[in-house]
Amino acid sequence: MVERFEVETRGQGLYPITDRVARIVDASGVAEGLCTVLIQHTSASLTIQENADPSARRDLAAWLDRLVPEGDPRFTHTAEGPDDMPSHIKAALTSTTLSIPVVRGALALGTWQGIYLWEHRRRPHRRRCVVHVGG
Amino acid sequence: MVERFEVETRGQGLYPITDRVARIVDASGVAEGLCTVLIQHTSASLTIQENADPSARRDLAAWLDRLVPEGDPRFTHTAEGPDDMPSHIKAALTSTTLSIPVVRGALALGTWQGIYLWEHRRRPHRRRCVVHVGG
Amino acid sequence: MVERFEVETRGQGLYPITDRVARIVDASGVAEGLCTVLIQHTSASLTIQENADPSARRDLAAWLDRLVPEGDPRFTHTAEGPDDMPSHIKAALTSTTLSIPVVRGALALGTWQGIYLWEHRRRPHRRRCVVHVGG
């Protein structure tokens, strides 16, 4: 089964999507199988990260911003703004697809794991994800 | 089919898990299909790396330690110790899930590829993995 | 269904493989399912990146070259040449496997997404990929 969903981002940051994916798994009726999420963009990405303390996600995003700063004079791909090329790099360093086993009809994530859509652009975007659930 | 296994880590480093995963594939009876491994933690991760010369894995881990040093004064997520936030970052930069085709009942890895569980915390941990094998 | 293909690389850079993968999906006859690509090497990798402006891929590769420079005196795994250890690191930071949903018989990639094989070694190599397509 394949479903789609969209996330309206409000600029840079990690947006929780575990519930969106979990509802699709639930609706699929698959008891044991595999759930795969793809984000259809190259300037936003996916990650599985700690779902408890938001300071971990803030520190993670701030660290990646320091690793890939805007305004690098060696960037040539600048037509879409100073945050565009860093966004492509951040997406390449994180994940575009994630696959999670399904057990007893639910995502087999660890207690502290959440799935996040990571917006790397400064401006709001409508981001599309595709979810496959197989038996 | 979904199976689980645990790895008792003894601190930072890459722990080989290819044999653990291969045994699950073998027991599944799946001749051709897909094997997916998920680690249920966000301060340890997975990677496929060279299985021959251990110096490659040592250099890899040492390089990542230099990229994400402990004690960064800008980290705010410090309650769980100085190695915790670097561990989350290292996990985000590597993999939480891996999917490997199964051919003739075995993982279709390259000759020099091994699957590793990468412990990023200094203290020993019991790490849980979930493996899905589908036809 | 599992198929294989090879890419003859001519040194470092991103080589488009979307068409190779798409043809395998087409030949599989799978209308809705999941396509997984594995590269059987640890000094080359996979990524999904912007398929339009080649300057984005050039900037991405140049940035990663600066992050992981050759000639780091702390590398000990140097027997295979100065570009070998950086290649393993670059592979660990990007992807060895990618899974993409299949919808109406085609890869459900975004408009601007392409699949690339990323050669990290300086010399030409014959790189092998394994593709699984499941229903």
Average confidence (pLDDT) over A100-114: 98
Q: Measuring CA to CA, which residue among A25, A18, A47 is closest to residue A133? A: A25
Query: Measuring CA to CA, which residue among C35, C61, B13 is closest to residue A93?
Result: C61
Cβ–Cβ below 8 Å for B110 and C2: no
The answer to whether C50 faces chain A, any CB pair under 8 Å, is: yes
Confidence of residue A56 (pLDDT cuts 50, 70, 90): very high
The dihedral built from the CA positions of residue C11, C16, C21 and C27, taken in this order, carries a sign that is negative
| A100 contacts in chain B (CB < 8 Å) | 38, 97
C26 CA: distance to closest CA in chain B (Å): 18
Which positions in chain A touch C60 (Cβ < 8 Å)?
85, 88-89, 92
Quote the pTM value.
0.98
Is A82 at the interface with chain B, CB within 8 A? no
For residues B57 and B105, the answer to whether their CB atoms sit within 8 Å is no
Kindly report, residue by residue over C97-127, the tens digit of the pLDDT: 999 999 999 999 999 999 999 999 999 999 9
Q: What is the pLDDT of residues A19-51, one digit of tens each?
A: 999 999 999 999 999 999 999 999 999 999 999
How many C-beta atoms surround the C-beta of residue B109 within 10 A?
20
Which of C18, C38, C60, C117 to mutate to test binding with chain A, by most A CBs within 10 Å of its CB? C60
Residue C12 contacts residue B85 (beta carbons within 8 Å): no
User: How do C113-119 and C13-16 pair as beta strands?
Assistant: antiparallel
Q: What is the mean pLDDT of chain B?
A: 97
B-chain residues near C72 (CB < 8 A): 63
What is the chain B residue with the closest CA to A134?
B134
pLDDT of residue B64: 98
Distance CA B127, CA B118 (A): 10
Closest CA to B121 of B1, B7, B4: B7
Task: Tell me the mean pLDDT in the region A10-21.
Answer: 98
Q: Rounded mean pLDDT of A66-93? A: 97
pLDDT, chain A, mean: 97
Tell me the pLDDT band of A57, cut-offs 50, 70 and 90: very high
Average pLDDT over residues B20-39: 98
ipTM of the complex in this document: 0.97
Please report the residues numbered 116 through 135 in chain C whose beta carbons come closer than 8 angstroms to any beta carbon of chain B.
Answer: 128, 130-132, 134
**Per-residue model confidence as pLDDT tens digits over C34-86:** 999 999 999 999 999 999 999 999 999 999 999 999 999 999 999 999 999 99
**Beta partners for A127?**
A7
Instruction: Please report the sign of the dihedral spanned by the C-alpha atoms of residue C81, residue B58, residue A46, residue A85.
Output: negative
pLDDT of residue B132: 98
**Confidence category of residue C87, pLDDT binned at 50, 70, 90:** very high
Residue A116: pLDDT band by 50, 70, 90 thresholds? very high
What is the rounded distance in angstroms from the CA atom of residue B119 to the CA atom of residue A21? Answer: 27
Give the pLDDT score at B41. 98
B chain contacts of residue C74, beta-carbon cutoff 8 Å: 59, 62-63, 66
The per-residue pLDDT for A49 is 97
Neighboring chain C residues of B103 at a CB cutoff of 8 Å: 2, 130
Give mean pLDDT, residues B55-68. 98
A2 part of contact set with chain C, CB < 8 Å: yes
Chain B interface includes A108 (CB < 8 A) = yes
